[in-house]
Structure 1
Amino acid sequence: MKNTLKATTLETKLPLLAVEHGCIISKDADITVAFEVALPELFTVTSQEYEAMHGAWCKAIKVLPHYSVVHKQDWFVSERYKPELQKDDLSFLDRSFERHFNERPYIAHKCYLFLTKTTKERARQQSNFSTLCRGRITPKELNHEMIVKFMESVEQFERIINDTGYIRLRHLSDDELVGTEKESGLIEKYMSLTMDDVTCLEDIDLDARQMRIGDKMLCLHTLSDTDDLPSKVSTDNRYERLSTDRSDCRLSFASPVGLLLPCNHIYNQYILIDDHDENLAKFEKTARNMNSLSRYSRSNAINKEWIDRYLNEAHSYGLTSVRCHINIMAWSDDAEELRRIKNDVGGQLATMGCMPRHNTIDCPTLFWSAMPGNEADFPAEESFYTFIEPAACFFTAETNYRSSLSPFGIKMVDRLTGKPIHLDISDEPMRRGVTTNRNKFILGPSGSGKSFFTNHLVRQYYEQNTHILLIDTGNSYEGLCNLIHNKTHGEDGVYYTYTEDSPISFNPFYTDDGVFDVEKKDSIKTLLLTLWKSEDDRVTKTESGELGSALSMFLEKMNKDKNIIPCFNSFYEFMRDEYRAEMAQRPIPIYKQDFDIDNFLTTLRQYYHGGRFDFLLNSKENIDLLNRRFVVFEVDSIKENKELFPIVTIIIMEAFINKMRRLKGIRKMIIVEEAWKALSTANMAEYLKYMFKTVRKYFGEAVVVTQEVDDIISSPIVKETIINNSDCKILLDQRKYMNRFDQIQELLGLTDKEKSQILSINMANNPNRLYKEVWIGLGGTQSAVYATEVSKEEYLCYTTEETEKIRVLEMAEKLGGDTEAAIKRIANE
């Protein structure tokens, strides 16, 4: 019976012969070198950087020999986020975050570059000579000399592009091209139109009306004629949605058919290099013919004029004549969706100023020639003549946000698609030399979400074994602290706050292990001197020495006599009874003007049993903060108290410095949230100055969070210390300060590029998602805007809205103090 299907196998038609040493050899003796291209991240490139990348592409293309094909292929594939729920160490909030983003759709982007060397005859072939139309392909021999010269030019091409610092080319290996037993290669993936590691080849239907690969129906738009092109092209365009009258957000000229086209598609960009001199000679001849025929038709005269202009440009500016072709190959397995995609592609091409041309007839041959390694099969009639510079403007120049390679970091969200990304803003930047310290400065006006973001940050740092100490005003971290306290059964999540019924209380004389090293002794001595002397009083060497000796004697006695309760009361009684008596018996007398012990005891009487502040230094809970990983000091109610507040701040600093010195190889973090009154005192400012400069040596980081830049300017020590020693700057929505942002820019040393990114925050948020954006800058060289989007459970834990916080607290009370259960219950409701 006669076969009416006219079906054939892929093996008989496959134009590729072999893949060796990272090169694809075709049966027509064409050689192709394949690269994976790493592009800069979206919304992080300036106009000057786009110009530099464009210039590099043009220089690189010029080094290639005649009859080469440059084929840049960008894959944009719709995927869904797969949550990491299989991990054993996921916390309750981590798990809720992963569930929240489960199956979140996003566009994955991969970029490849194929450089092909072919022959003059092959370069002129039209679609009727495609390997698809041949019955049998007979392999031809390679020209060894041609290969050597071509590979040299490819190495030069690679070096020029990689030297830009913006784009990275990486050779694809043989296994990446043809695959292994476990994973599919790029050629196989292309034939299946999928980026999955394991693919299954499906039937290919090359119908003139519509091409199919399995269930996928293809839709092709081409730019293959000068009539389809815009009146002018550029390296980049202003992206209005994220631009203001004071700032510019730039995207590449081809971005509308790149990441901004949210569907499955491949964007193919071809530059075909012929013999430049031969091309110009051919145009000269055509121009003469047109001139001869101009009497018979006005169009001939016009065409002659256009050819003359092309030739004048080529000779005047030394431009290289090339052929170019652009196509967008989109697909879907749903006919209705394909119709929408067809309109979307046409619309995006129209925004570029192009004439959308839906091509059905040439779809099979263009699909076939876009196969990795088969670029020489490109049909010549589908290209138009231009120069390298305008042709390279059609290259896409940006990609999605990339996750950090470091295992440590936080989860943020891609601002365009809403896909979670892993971001390391502490360790990886230091390893790469982008930053020299881990300190952070967070600035955001009221309501911008800075406390919410800081909650998100410290929660994830805590769950990665960081010791965190917070100084807060406004109960912003109460929910998170309660959750940690319940989860760890009180081991962590210590919340210090001042109320009349339960005043804030410490015990600087207590440690879990009974160790009092030099730093601990010095910090207690500094505390005692602060309690005794006013800010204007000078501390003499004798006073400092005597107090140090008294403290050492007391600690030695306490070490021997276990009946002594370590607290300020015991130390006061020791000074009053034993040390004063010991001073009286010395052969060399101590005069009052040198060390007035009576004045010391009188001044500190108010902190002793029965005094006004006897609760402050005599805590009976005996909590050693050294081993508590999450500690919050809520100082809102005492920040105006001139007697209590300086003492509390010194105890807080002492607690962190003790951690800093004694916890070897463990990450530590101190966060000062809106506690600016503390910074106004000389003692606190000096503490901060010391800490910001030395914390990096102890695997630590200091973080300052504020609403107003003026708060920093008001303290010159802090201004210099914090800004100069914080390589990571985090800013939230600054549009309230848009008219005076120049002052903020100057103070923080921000570039115009960083200013544009910051002023674009929250300008084009997706109304279907609840999130706020945040700008993160590292070392003045790397910066981007990310979204802080969280699950319902995380939101209820971080929220600073009073009604929502009260609801969680009341529900927790009903459930026996279980904050986690309360959050789950409310989230489910």
Structure 2
Amino acid sequence: MRNMAKTRTLESRFPLLAVEENCIISKEADITVCFKVILPEVFTVSSAEYDAMHSAWHKAIKTLPDHSIVLKQDWFIKESYEPDLSKEDISFLGKSYQQHFNERPFLNHYCYLFLTKTSKERMRMQSNFSSLCKGVLIPKEIRDKENIHRFMEAVAQFERILNDSGFISLERLTSEEITGTDNVPGLLDQYLTLSRAKDEPLQDISLGNEEVRVGNKRLCVHTLSDTDDLPGTVSIDSRYEKLSTDRSDCLLSFASPVGLLLNCNHIYNQYIFLDNSDDNLRKFEKSARNMHSLAKYSRSNQINREWIEKYLNEAHSFGLSSIRAHFNVIAWSDDPAELKRIKNDTGSALALMECKPRHNTVDVATLFWAAMPGNAGDFPSEESFYTFIEPALCFFTEETNYHDSPSHFGIKMADRLTGKPVHLDISDFPMKKGIITNRNKFILGPSGSGKSFFTNHMVRQYWEQGSHVLLIDTGNSYQGLCEMIKGKTKGQDGVYFTYTEDNPISFNPFYTDDNVFDIEKRESIKTLILTLWKRDDEPPKRSEEVALSNAVSGYIEHIKNSDVKPSFNGFYEYVKNEYKQVLQAKEVREKDFDLANFLNVLEPYYKGGEYDYLLNSEKELDLLNKRFIVFEIDAIKDHKILFPIVTIIIMETFINKMRRLKGIRKLILIEEAWKAIAKEGFAEYIKYLFKTVRKFFGEAIVVTQEVDDIIHSPVVKETIINNSDCKILLDQRKYMNKFDDIQAMLGLTEKEKSQILSINMNNDPSRKYKEVWIGLGGTHSAVYATEVSMAEYYAYTTEETEKLEVMQLAEELGGNVEHAIKRIVLKNTANQNNN
């Protein structure tokens, strides 16, 4: 007896036969090759780059033989961020960052490409010939092996053309990725469940006339299947108004409204059907003749003839291939109210493309079935329209979300569109890929743009990953972070140097942990003493340099051979007594080295002198092995005596790290202090650093906020900018009228200018963050969000009242800044919940 039940097993209707040699073979003998597609990141593509991508797609598709189908399938799935808290050594701030983003919803994008070889007969089949309508599916035999061989060769050429474009990357899917394994669902499982979850079981699929349902998910489909639904003109890219200004254009692909900008679970299918172009044109010639003969009976026949003639003229004049195309958006939800909203949102997105939104209720089942990977041959031909390859490609989406950098080292930023954390390496990976040739960074941002937050966020993560960080600051921007590190390491790290009347800044240039005085250490001591002894306009004689060098070497030997505690006082006494005898024995003349003058000039730094505290610190502190050091020099940056000495000690400290810490990352970050350093004649140090530090696994970073500084300073122009392959800019709208000068100085392209001027223009009011532009080597750039947790905010804050609150509470808790921040966060969280 014939089975009249409406329910059928998936096996009886399943149109695919096998997956062999990484290809899907259907029961109708169609062969499909599957690719994962990697597209450029959103908001990072210029108009010329969109043109290049469009051209690459066009060239690639032209290589495919007749009766091929191109299906580009973009999945947009709502997911939640899963924090990585598995690391044992994760810090308090690192943990608070991960918890801040815990379960943050975002729209994830996955892009696939299916190239199918079918037959002329299959290309013409309508929806009533779909495999869904057949009683029994009997596998057909592949007869024309030569055609298949030519198709696979064309696929290889297709893949090479797109991969060589430099913008689009194809990765061929393996059989396991298509069918899945016991632990990981394959592409087919994901499509038949409309889910990428690992543990999602197959559920009933209802393919009814009025409703298509996969489990509890109800589908709605909007189609572009008729020329009447299409806009009058199409373009390769479109202007995104929310991030554009009257001076710049933010560009997205023409189809972006149904891509990342459509915030719901959906699949965007883009079909191109490659019929035999000559057959199509002959058919249109015949149709045009028929329309002409019937024109006197109906004006519409005359109009249709004119349109067909225009199509034929375009094809013959420019040698264009006649093809068919179809585009649809399959969206779903298990909530009827949400599904209604999704229908409206999808219709609105299509309207933004100037298309006529058509909610398809007739062919939903066959369209869903045909979009199954490997089953494009089942597509109902009446749902397609005739066009050419180039305009059809304008409906391809060409961008994706931000990618994580494929390296262990980096910093955490946030995707500006979705708010999802992004792992970003702006040092090692770009060096490895040849995008940059040094790790140096130049940071420009006006006051209030979030500069200090970004730099705090960056150096904290560098330190947590084992880097040595030396900061020169002029505004206590890093005090909170430094004190927290000091508490975390129980005083073993986190050294904060600042000048106050009660606690003046002091060092001991002669102290080392390991009693090693290499050439760099000896030279830095000599430079320091020369600075104290001679004025800038009074260069030392050669004989004086030799005498000083011998004095330093003699005192170092004296230290090593006795239990004397090294200090400047000890050096002064050594020169006054023992070294005086050495000079007398050598009969060194006074005009060659005036010992009395030397001692007289250095007396203010000897005990009892005005600056006796400066070089005679009681702390036995060797900065070589301290990984987080801050020099706060705001109080002394205009002091003619103290500032040059402190500058030399800072430079000696970093150069010592640079040369002695082999294979360890180190960075020096100079805030506004670089201006004072350059003025005092120490520009040579900066030049040396920026040109040399890359050879020692290091990076030099300069931060400034004044536009005029970068425009007029030769130090910045010739040294810092030219030797900083990574440029970081914050909100520049204050400098809109001066931006042409900035653009010329930094060598920014029009694309980079558009990105920078879009900063903070369309921020999500539900999130607290500021955006930052990062450019690498003039070729890779993007805008990211600096979004931090509440704990990080209080560690980084430069607001006086907030900083005082943290420091006062920390003092009450025995100097523990971390505990103070925890208490403040708990209190603020409780207040927010009560409100």
* Aligned-partner residue type, residue 666 of structure 1: I
Quote the Cα distance in structure 2 between the aligned partners of 1:764 and 1:127.
44
CA distance in 2: counterparts of 1:593 and 1:12, whole angstroms: 107
Alignment-derived partner of residue 77 in structure 2: 77
Q: Per-residue displacement from partner, 1:381-410 (whole Å, max 9, x unpaired)?
A: 000011111001000000000000100000
Q: Deviations over 1:582-623 (max 9, x none)?
A: 21222xx32232211211111110000010100000000121
Shift of 1:580: 1.5
Q: Determine if contact 2:717/2:745 at 8 Å carries over to the other structure.
A: no
**1:94 counterpart SS class:** helix
Give the CA deviation at 1:4: 6.5
User: Which string of whole-angstrom CA distances, capped at 9 and with x for unpartnered residues, describes residues 128-184 of structure 1?
Assistant: 000000011111111211101111111111111111100011111110001112111
Conserved 8 A contact 2:638-2:676: no
Distance 1:432 1:539 in 2: 47
2:271–2:327 Cα contact (<8 Å) kept: yes
Query: 1:696 and 1:676 mapped to 2: Cα distance?
Result: 19
1:265–1:331: 8 Å Cα contact kept in structure 2?
yes
2:670 maps to which residue?
Answer: 672
Alignment partners' CA distance in 2, 1:766 and 1:592: 74
One-letter amino acid of the counterpart of residue 214, structure 2: I
Secondary structure in structure 2 of the residue aligned to 1:181: coil
Unaligned runs of 5+ in 1: none
Please identify, of 535-544 and 325-334, the stretch whose mean Cα deviation from structure 2 is larger: 535-544
Cα offset, 1:683, TM superposition: 4.5
Equivalent position of 1:59 in the other structure: 59
SS at 2:360 equivalent: coil
> Any conservation in 2 of the 1:676–1:711 contact (CA below 8 Å)?
no
Contact 1:680–1:715 (CA under 8 A) maintained in structure 2: no
Kindly provide the amino acid, as one letter, of the partner of residue 716 in structure 1: P
Distance in 1, Cα, partners of 2:430 & 2:542: 44
Residues 182-193 of structure 1 correspond to what in structure 2 (within 5 A)? 182-193=183-194
Matched with 2:127 is 127
Give the TM-score taking structure 1 as reference length.
0.99
Residue equivalent to 2:14: 14
Aligned-residue offset at 1:813: 1.6
The CA distance in 2 between the partners of 1:735 and 1:233, in whole Å, is: 32
- 8 Å Cα contact 2:674/2:702 also seen in 1: no
Residue in structure 2 matched with residue 721 of structure 1 by the alignment: 719
Residue 348 of structure 1 and its aligned partner are, at CA, apart by: 0.4
Cα distance in 1 for residues equivalent to 2:190 and 2:521: 63
SS of equivalent residue, structure 1 residue 475: coil
Other-structure match for 1:29: 29
Write the mapping of 1:268-307 to structure 2, written as runs, cut at 5 A: 268-307=269-308
| Corresponding residue for residue 659 of structure 1 | 657
Q: Aligned partners of 1:150 and 1:714: how far apart in 2?
A: 61
1:766-822 CA-to-partner distances (Å, cap 9, x unmatched) read 011000000001111111000000000000100111111011111112222111111
The one-letter code matched in structure 2 to 1:42 is V
Residue 306 of structure 2: SS of its match in structure 1? helix
Aligned residue number for residue 173 of structure 2: 172
Tell me, in whole angstroms, the C-alpha distance in 1 between the residues paired with 2:617 and 2:77.
61
User: Partner of 2:595 in structure 1?
Assistant: 597
Give the structure 2 partner of residue 137 of structure 1: 137
Cα distance in 2 for partners of 1:5, 1:800 equals: 72
What displacement does 1:722 show?
0.8
State the match for 1:112 in structure 2.
112
1:462 corresponds to which residue? 463
Question: Is the contact between residue 482 and residue 495 of structure 2 (CA under 8 Å) also seen in structure 1?
Answer: yes
- How far apart, in 1, do the equivalents of 2:85 and 2:565 lie? 49
- Equivalent residue, structure 1, for 2:215: 214
Letter in 2 for 1:355: K
Distance 2:815 2:555 in 1: 41
For the 8 Å contact 1:116–1:373, the answer to whether it is kept is yes
User: Amino acid of the residue matched to residue 146 of structure 1?
Assistant: N
Secondary structure in 2 matching 1:222: strand
Matches within 5 A, 1:443-462: 443-462=444-463
Measured after TM superposition, the shift of residue 20 of structure 1 is 1.0
2:605 is the alignment partner of 1:607: yes
2-side partners of 1:538 and 1:785: how far apart? 49
| Residues 224 and 358 in structure 2, CA contact (< 8 A), matched pair in contact too | yes
Contact 1:685 1:718 in 2 (8 A): no
What stretches of structure 1 move > 6 A for 4+ residues in a row? 1-4
Render the CA deviation track for 1:533-568: whole Å, top value 9, x for unaligned. Answer: 001011222111111111111110111111x12000
Identity %: 66
Q: Of the candidates 818, 821, 824, which is equivalent to residue 820 of structure 1?
A: 818
Q: What SS does the corresponding residue of 2:529 show, helix, strand or coil?
A: helix
- Any conservation in 1 of the 2:508–2:617 contact (CA below 8 Å)? yes
Q: Secondary structure at the match of 2:735?
A: helix
Whole-angstrom distance in 2 between the partners of 1:715 and 1:582: 47
Counterpart amino acid of 1:688? Answer: I
Displacement of 1:445 in angstroms is 0.5
2:737 to 732, 736, 739: 739
Task: Indicate the residue corresponding to 1:526 in structure 2.
Answer: 527
Q: Name 1:96's counterpart in structure 2.
A: 96
SS of 1:230's equivalent? coil
Structure-2 change in CA distance of 1:124 and 1:4 (3 Å)? closer
Counterpart check, 1:771 vs 2:757: no
**Is the contact between residue 185 and residue 196 of structure 2 (CA under 8 Å) also seen in structure 1?**
no
Q: Secondary structure at the match of 1:43?
A: coil
* Cα-to-partner distance string for 1:230-284 (whole Å, 9 max, x where unaligned): 1110000011111111111100000000000000000000000111111111111
Q: How much has 1:298 moved relative to structure 2?
A: 1.1
Q: Report matched runs for 1:194-273 at 5 Å.
A: 194-273=195-274
Cα separation, partners in 2 of 1:712 and 1:570, compared to 1, 3 Å: farther
SS state at 2:373 partner: coil
Partner Cα separation in structure 2 for residue 212 and residue 783 of structure 1: 42
Query: In structure 2, what residue type is equivalent to 1:696?
Result: R
**How far apart are residue 3 of structure 1 and its match?**
6.8
Q: Residues 508 and 524 of structure 1 are in contact (CA less than 8 Å); yes or no, is this contact kept in structure 2?
A: yes
Query: Take 1:554 and 1:710, find their aligned partners in 2: how far apart are those partners?
Result: 47
Work out the CA distance in 1 between the residues paired with 2:714 and 2:578: 45
User: What is the DSSP-based 3-state SS (H/G/I as helix, E as strand, rest coil) of the residue aligned with 1:435?
Assistant: coil
Q: Is the contact between residue 649 and residue 678 of structure 1 (CA under 8 Å) also seen in structure 2? A: no
Aligned to 2:401: 400
Asked if the contact 1:290/1:300 (under 8 Å) is kept, the reply is yes
Cα distance in 1, alignment partners of residues 630 and 434 from structure 2: 32
Q: Tell me if the contact between 1:639 and 1:677 (Cα under 8 Å) persists in the aligned partners.
A: no
Cα distance between partner residues in 1 of 2:607 and 2:77: 72
SS in 1 for 2:359: coil
Q: Distance in 2 between matches of 1:2 and 1:122?
A: 29
**Which of the residues 775, 790, 799 maps onto 1:801?**
799
Distance 1:677 1:64 in 2: 61
Per mean C-alpha deviation after superposition, the further-off stretch among 455-464 and 86-95 is 86-95
Indicate if the aligned counterparts of 1:69 and 1:271 stay in contact, CA closer than 8 A.
Answer: yes
Q: In the alignment, what sits opposite 1:540?
A: 541
Query: Which amino acid is the alignment partner of residue 617 of structure 2?
Result: S
Partner of residue 623, structure 2: 625
- Corresponding residue for 2:685? 687
Farther-moved stretch of structure 1 (36-45 vs 194-203): 194-203
Q: Deviations over 1:754-777 (max 9, x none)?
A: 111111100100011000000001
* Equivalence for 2:425: 424
By how many angstroms is 1:745 displaced?
0.9
Letter in 2 for 1:387: F
Q: Which secondary structure state, in structure 1, belongs to the residue aligned with residue 635 of structure 2?
A: helix
CA contact 1:42–1:398 (8 Å) conserved in 2: yes
Q: Which residue of 1 aligns with 2:637?
A: 639
Offset, 1:338: 0.6
Which runs of 5 or more structure 2 residues have no equivalent in the other structure?
A: 828-835
Task: Write the distance in 1 (CA, Å) between the matches of 2:202 and 2:775.
Answer: 45
Q: CA contact under 8 A between 2:678 and 2:715: conserved in structure 1?
A: no
Indicate the residue corresponding to 2:157 in structure 1.
Answer: 156
User: How do 1:555-570 and structure 2 match up within 5 A?
Assistant: 555-562=556-563, 564-570=564-570
Question: Distance in 2 between the 1:225 and 1:712 partners?
Answer: 56
Question: In 2, distance between residues paired with 1:507 and 1:436?
Answer: 36
Name the CA distance, whole Å, in 2 between partners of 1:594 and 1:754. 59
Q: Distance in 2 between matches of 1:264 and 1:5?
A: 32
Deviation digits for residues 55-93 of structure 1 (CA, Å, limit 9, x no counterpart): 111111111111110100000000000011122111000
What is residue 811 of structure 1 aligned with on the other side? 809
